[in-house]
Amino acid sequence: MRWTSSATEATRLDGDARDYEALLDSIGEAELGVARRGDPRHPGVLPNACRADASPGGREGVRYGRRGNGLADAYRLNRFVRGEGRDQIARSAFDDFQRFPRWMWRNEEVLGFVERLRDINMTRQANDRIGFYGLDMYSMYRSANAVVDYLSTVDEEQAAGEWNVGQLVRERAGAEAAWLVGFTTCTGTVMAAYEWDDEAECRQVKVARRDSYEGLFHRTRLDRFYLPMQGEAARVLRDPLLERAIGVLYRADTEYESHYFMASIAAQFDAVFHLDETTEVEPLDTAAARLEIQPV
């Protein structure tokens, strides 16, 4: 794959609001924005993108935001960002997140994102405010397994079908109404558990395999960039390659088996943010404890 020799379609990120102008221009009139929760968090990306959107002359565009959150738990945040409900401050709106993996939502980066969404919404009419919705990708597994078990007895072909959230959004809302954004990294740290229901720890992420999309992006030497999946990039990157997904679990000792899969990233996403090295999120509980022990 020779994309690295002509990576001119990628926009290097410089750490200011202009980093997100290409993304916001590309989104256009899309109503659904889906951010893939895959690799270690990219602190500041979502809040800064919102800040760019709310700047003078900011665009009309995405009206619904979606992350891999618990449906009911995230709806309390939705009410907060829309100026509804009883929560007066953002931190209290996170109180419904009490089950594993609570740190994935209850962290400083999502807090900043939620606060920024509310600030934007308070400048808009009620019927034109951004929503924040979750799709529960965890307790769903027990239900999904039960459905597959049932289908195995009545329709084995249907039982083998698997879909991700982005694919379902595109099929239900239409490709023109949705904009799917992926995030990749080469190395860094991640807040993750080793086993389900374990405590989260800061874990070192191994350098990405050379034969993966992450390894390919690393070889551009751009360090951090935004890449729309159109033009030459889409043509070249449509070829299947290994892709790494790191969620609430990270197992460095079985990384290849546990976290890599074959994918066509150009078919999977409308755009990708790549940060060569990322850092773990800071859980709200950890941040609160740190503040409590600060000397007066």
Tokens of 103: 């740190």
pTM of the complete model: 0.79
Q: How confident is the model at residue 56 (pLDDT cuts 50, 70, 90)?
A: very low
Q: Is 290 exposed, middle or buried (0-12, 13-18, 19+ CB in 10 A)?
A: exposed
Tokens of 64: 């619904």
What was the pLDDT predicted at 156? 61
Using the predicted structure, report yes or no on whether residue 271 has a pLDDT greater than 70: yes
Q: Which has the higher per-residue pLDDT, 150 or 210?
A: 210
% of the chain residues with pLDDT over 70: 71
Q: pLDDT tens-digit profile of 159-200?
A: 576 667 777 788 887 877 888 899 999 999 999 999 989 999
Residue 241 phi/psi, 5-degree rounding, is: -150, 165
- For the chain, the first-to-last Cα distance in angstroms comes to 57
Find the mean pLDDT for residues 147-156.
67
Q: pLDDT tens-digit profile of 123-137?
A: 999 999 988 877 655
Reference 49, options 19, 80, 77, 81; nearest CA is 19
